[in-house]
């Protein structure tokens, strides 16, 4: 298999003790490449350093909606400068977007999301978009800006209509552990009925565990299980699903060998 984890946080401290061993294990399982989205200025240098150390790792640079209020003054200017320098391994702007859960601070989210969309357009990079309880609002914003390079709606959880709207806007849907939960019927049905080429694989490790693994750190080693679940859900051969999603990933992100 040629699996690419399009969204995992391998720079997080939980992976520090055995990161090299984990990558070796994943390679044996067929997972050969990873995209790490940054969450804020505090880990930009960290993800860039990992990409220097491991050629199979690329990354996005951006500001996650959870951390909008914690960024130092001038963070956007420094992000702009980094994107302009086009450092080795940079493949996206993100993780950015909107999270409208009640316990997440709302102030500044829309403004910073729109600013990062502009940066992605200026530097001709795809976006890695975080959208929680905000799919319709995010689609409205993307429809207004029309970023030509599109990107991915990370951890898509929504209806078929919402998924189709994102796909029409040039955004693929990130598919991870949510499809392992039988209670996620609406999203599972949407994923089943979307065009296969509209989907990408991801784990969101160490978050978004599969059903039965709640409470344990998720890892990219689960990506083959997600691919298998997706093939079963769609009633399509695993080899076909893996081949199409691999090609879609290369269309979405400027990976090193593409």
pLDDT tens, residue by residue, 192-237? 999 999 999 999 999 999 999 999 999 999 999 999 999 999 999 9
Question: In this structure, are residues 167 and 195 in contact, taking their beta carbons and an 8 Å threshold?
Answer: yes
What single string gives the DSSP state of each residue in 122-169?
A: HTT--EEEEEES-HHHHHHHHHHH--TT-EEEET--S-HHHHHHHHHT
Question: In this structure, are residues 206 and 178 in contact, taking their beta carbons and an 8 Å threshold?
Answer: no
CA dist 36 and 9 (Å) reads 5
Element (H, E) at 83: helix 75-85
Give, in words, the CATH class of 3-252. alpha beta
Confidence of residue 2 (pLDDT cuts 50, 70, 90): confident
Per-residue pLDDT, 258: 43
pLDDT tens, residue by residue, 23-70? 999 999 999 999 999 999 999 999 999 999 999 999 999 999 999 999
pLDDT at 21 over 90: yes
Q: Where are the domains of the chain?
A: 3-252
Report strand pairing: 199-201 vs 31-37: unpaired
Specify the pTM. 0.97
């Amino acid at each position: 298999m040629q699996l690419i984890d399009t969204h995992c946080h391998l720079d997080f401290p939980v992976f520090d003790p055995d990161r090299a061993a984990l990558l070796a294990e994943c390679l044996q399982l067929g997972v050969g490449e990873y995209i790490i989205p940054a969450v804020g200025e505090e880990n930009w240098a960290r993800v860039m350093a990992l990409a220097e150390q491991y050629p199979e790792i690329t990354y996005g640079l951006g500001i996650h909606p959870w951390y909008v209020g914690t960024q130092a003054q001038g963070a956007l200017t420094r992000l702009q400068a980094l994107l302009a320098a086009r450092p080795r391994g940079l493949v996206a702007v993100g993780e950015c977007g909107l999270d409208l859960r009640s316990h997440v601070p709302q102030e500044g989210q829309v403004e910073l999301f729109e600013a990062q969309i502009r940066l992605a357009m200026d530097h001709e990079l795809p976006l890695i978009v975080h959208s929680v309880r905000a799919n319709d609002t995010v689609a409205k914003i993307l429809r207004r800006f029309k970023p030509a390079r599109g990107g991915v709606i990370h951890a898509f959880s929504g209806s078929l209509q919402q998924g189709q709207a994102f796909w029409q806007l040039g955004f693929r849907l990130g598919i991870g552990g949510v499809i392992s939960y039988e209670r996620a019927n609406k999203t599972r049905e949407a994923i089943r009925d979307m065009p296969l080429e509209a989907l990408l694989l991801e784990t969101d490790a160490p978050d978004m565990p599969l059903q039965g693994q709640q409470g344990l750190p998720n890892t990219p080693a689960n990506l083959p299980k997600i691919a298998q679940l997706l093939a079963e859900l769609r009633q399509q051969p695993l080899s076909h699903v893996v081949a199409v999603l691999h090609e879609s990933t290369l269309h979405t992100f400027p990976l090193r060998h593409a």
